[in-house]
Structure 1
Amino acid sequence: MAEKTYQSFADFYPFYLSQHKNKTCRRLHFMGSLFVLILLMLSIFTQHWLYLFYVPIAGYGFAWIGHFFYEKNKPATFSYPIYSLIGDWVMFKDILLGKVKL
């Protein structure tokens, strides 16, 4: 069965949210995104660029633990890397605004 091809992020985002139904998975995504922001700020303010090395580890590490151990599905980033990255930040914003529950 062929995977669906999404023509826009607006079409993709409901699918993205359907892959993040587990509360622990969403929390791990949120923590990973928060750590990414902290690492980026640390890197800029201290000018220790080695912090940038840890950005993908924090971002993907927490998310993938959530998917493999709690959500028990394949991360959307494997099939839709750009939309998935955008989805991470839209979901982060939606969690902050209370549109998505932690």
Structure 2
Amino acid sequence: MSRFASFREFYPFYLGEHRHRVSRRLHFIGSCGVLLLVAAALWRGQPSLLLGALACGYGFAWVGHFFFEKNRPATFRHPFYSFIGDWVMFADILRGRVPW
């Protein structure tokens, strides 16, 4: 299923699929929404908010891919590495390693 032997091999590909600044920003905003919704679900004891977190994260990311990147999200081909890539890119944006 995967042509990547490790996440270390996958991540440069992942970043290449996120060249458009608006797409990266949408991913970042979606990830912030995920964190807030997961926190709210835990704080309020409402697990149904986790569905909102899922919709928020993927919704913002997919808008970035379909309308700005004009590519297919890596989630469809590499779901595990893509999930990790979202959070590594989020952290790299916070650290200034990936341009906002």
TM-score (norm 2): 0.96
From 58, 61, 79, the equivalent of 2:59 is 61
Question: Secondary structure of 2:48's partner?
Answer: helix
Unpaired stretches in structure 1, ≥5 consecutive residues: none
Q: Is the 8 A contact 2:2 2:78 kept in 1?
A: no
Q: Is the 8 A contact 2:14 2:85 kept in 1?
A: yes
Q: Is the 8 A contact 2:27 2:57 kept in 1?
A: yes
Report the Cα offset of residue 49 of structure 1. 1.7
TM-score (norm 1): 0.95
Cα RMSD over matched residues? Answer: 1.1
Q: Number of residue pairs matched?
A: 100
The answer to whether 1:26 aligns with 2:24 is yes
Report the Cα offset of residue 4 of structure 1. 6.2
Which residue of structure 1 lines up, in the alignment, with residue 93 of structure 2?
95
Taking the aligned partners of 2:61 and 2:55, their CA distance within structure 1 comes to: 10
Q: What is the 5 A alignment of 1:1-102?
A: 5-102=3-100
Percentage of identical aligned residues: 52
